[in-house]
Amino acid sequence: MDAIVQETALARTRRARRVDRALAVRYPDARCELDFRTPFELLIATVLSAQTTDVRVNMTTPELFARWPDAAAMATANQAELQDVLHPTGFYRAKARAVAGIGNALVERFGGEVPKRIEDLVTLPGVGRKTANVVLGNAFGVPGITVDTHVHRVAHRLGYSTSDDPAVIEADLGELLERREWTMASHRLIFHGRRTCFARRPACGACPVAALCPSFGIGETDPVLAAEMVKD
């Protein structure tokens, strides 16, 4: 990482944007992998995605939204019934309280609609900046940087940030990337973390940004073996 210490801010910005362009080529279908039709559905789905997979959430939300399709319905949901539906997502008691609380808050303070400002979103139960940025970027088209575990890991490996504070990482990435690219750049980093730059052993030899990454070599460097590790 000595090279990163010596890297100028301008050089880091240029490198970060080259990395983003390369990831756009590698992951042209990068997107939010949670299924949703409305801002409310995306908000609830993102809260439910904590400590579980998007696949599991997508298996759970059709029944959830069929029974409680909007904020008013969610606010009056029976907690036992809500917990039963949410059980497969894990931490179902806390999640049931959170989504019912979100329904109540939306009805009482926002006319039943999901607000379009991050300052309002983060006042909702169980909603932090990560969730707020997911909703803003994907439901409302407001650029935002989502710092989940994948973005945290990849940002560190690429030398974009040395902080473990998601808010600081978000700010660091915001300084490097064009604002209009924030939402899609987040998706690309998440896709990269899920498909190539794995937590335990990244597939370095099959990485599209290997030449731009100061952490190259911490994982499998053999191109053939690394390619076998990559997930579609």
pLDDT given for residue 1 in this prediction:
46
Find the helix packing angle between 182-195 and 166-176, rounded to 10°: 110
> Is residue 181 a contact partner of residue 20, using CB atoms and an 8 Å limit?
yes
DSSP for 63-95? HHHHHS-SHHHHHT--HHHHHHHHGGGSSHHHH
Structural domains for the chain: 2-30+145-229 (1.10.1670.10), 39-139 (1.10.340.30)
Per-residue pLDDT of the chain (232 residues; tens, 9 = 90+): 444 457 899 999 999 999 999 999 999 999 999 999 999 999 999 999 999 999 999 999 999 999 999 999 999 999 999 999 999 999 999 999 999 999 999 999 999 999 999 999 999 999 999 999 999 999 999 999 999 999 999 999 999 999 999 999 999 999 999 999 999 999 999 999 999 999 999 999 999 999 999 999 999 999 999 999 999 8
pLDDT given for residue 3 in this prediction:
45
- Which of the following is catalytic: 2, 29, 120, 148? 148
The model carries a pTM of 0.92
H-run or E-run covering 172 = helix 166-176
Take residue 19 and report the two structure tokens written for it. Answer: 């990395």
First-to-last C-alpha distance (Å) of the chain: 30
- Which of the following is catalytic: 130, 165, 172, 232? 130
> Is residue 98 a contact partner of residue 74, using CB atoms and an 8 Å limit?
no
What count of other Cβ atoms lies within 10 Å of the Cβ of residue 79? 11
pLDDT given for residue 60 in this prediction:
98
Examine the residue annotation and report whether 130 is marked as an active-site residue of this protein: yes
pLDDT given for residue 177 in this prediction:
98
Examine the residue annotation and report whether 54 is marked as an active-site residue of this protein: no
User: What are the backbone angles phi and psi of residue 2, rounded to the nearest 5°?
Assistant: -60, -35
DSSP letter assigned to residue 227: H
